[in-house]
Structure 1
Amino acid sequence: MKKSAVIIAIALGFLFTTLHASNSIMPTSTYETVTKRLVDPFCISIVKGDLDTVKKLIELGQDVNKKSNGLTPAMYAAKYNRLDILKLLVDKGAKLDVKSAKGMTAEKYAELSNAKDALAYIKELDS
């Protein structure tokens, strides 16, 4: 009798496990992976202070006013106090009065990040 009870218990265990497993199977779905670059390579070069790469990209036709992650290249140069790059960008037509998505200009980014050289240059241009 004990053997029968154990066998029945094991059988019921398998039965409930099988039923539960078959009810919990979800339909398969397809996932699409999208790679999103937040900051383009031109602006990364500015942040790193790589003047040669910035010059080369401008020669190849890079737009000096194209926003990346809501900021213009001049904003990145001002924010990270890259004075030589900021001067180059201005020489190539970068606009310093453009506002970011947060409503700030390159001057404001320089001010907030305490980029004294870039801030002094921008103020010199304003006067």
Structure 2
Amino acid sequence: MKKLFVITALFFGVMVYATPGTSNNELSTEKTFVSGVDTFCKLIQQGNYDAVKSMTEAGVDVNKKSVGKTPLMYAARHNKVEILKLLLANGAEMKTKCDRGYTALDYAKLSKAVDAEMFLLAVSKEQSI
């Protein structure tokens, strides 16, 4: 009985594996493999503080957009408060808008990045005084 179960499972496994893809919902490989986000912003997304700090010390432009968003927007979206502090200390602009019209604070709100949102709200209140 065990052998029958194993043979049946293998048979159906091979059948599923060998069935050609006829779905109309297949992903486009072009969109799957093209991201365009530069290395600096990828490091921010990953939360690699030391690498981001090294790059800012080396003179990377902290306001240069990558795929329409500034590094500050990536840090806000991914709730990276320490990196937000680092970027602001190195001249990042808070009020810059992306290609869709959102600021870093907007990205924090949209992403439910509560810590980043609270930090950016505090900074914006401090700057308006």
Q: Which runs of 5+ in 2 are unaligned?
A: 1-33
Bigger Rg over Cα? 1
What CA distance in whole angstroms lies between the structure 2 residues aligned with 1:52 and 1:80?
A: 16
Q: Does 1:66 align with 2:64?
A: yes
Hey, what does 2:124 align to over in structure 1?
126
Q: CA RMSD in A?
A: 1.4
- Alignment partner of 1:48 out of 23, 46, 49: 46
Greater than 4 Å deviation, 4+ residue runs: none
1:69 aligned partner, one-letter code: V
CA deviations on 1:69-88 (whole Å, 9 max, x unpaired) are 00000000000000000010
Q: What is the TM-score of this pair, normalised by structure 1?
A: 0.71
Q: Counterparts of 1:108 and 1:115 in 2: how far apart (Å)?
A: 10
Aligned position for 2:101? 103
Deviation at 1:59, TM superposition (A): 1.1
Q: Which whole-Å CA distance do the structure 1 matches of 2:122 and 2:109 have between them? A: 14
CA distance in 2 between counterparts of 1:66 and 1:37 reads 17
Scaled by the length of structure 2, what TM-score is found? Answer: 0.70
Structure 1, unaligned runs of 5 or more: 1-35
Q: Deviations over 1:47-88 (max 9, x none)?
A: 000000001111111000000000000000000000000010
Task: Name the residue aligned to 1:39.
Answer: 37
Which residue of the partner structure matches residue 82 of structure 2? 84
Measured in 2, the distance between the counterparts of 1:79 and 1:37 equals 17
What is the aligned length? 93
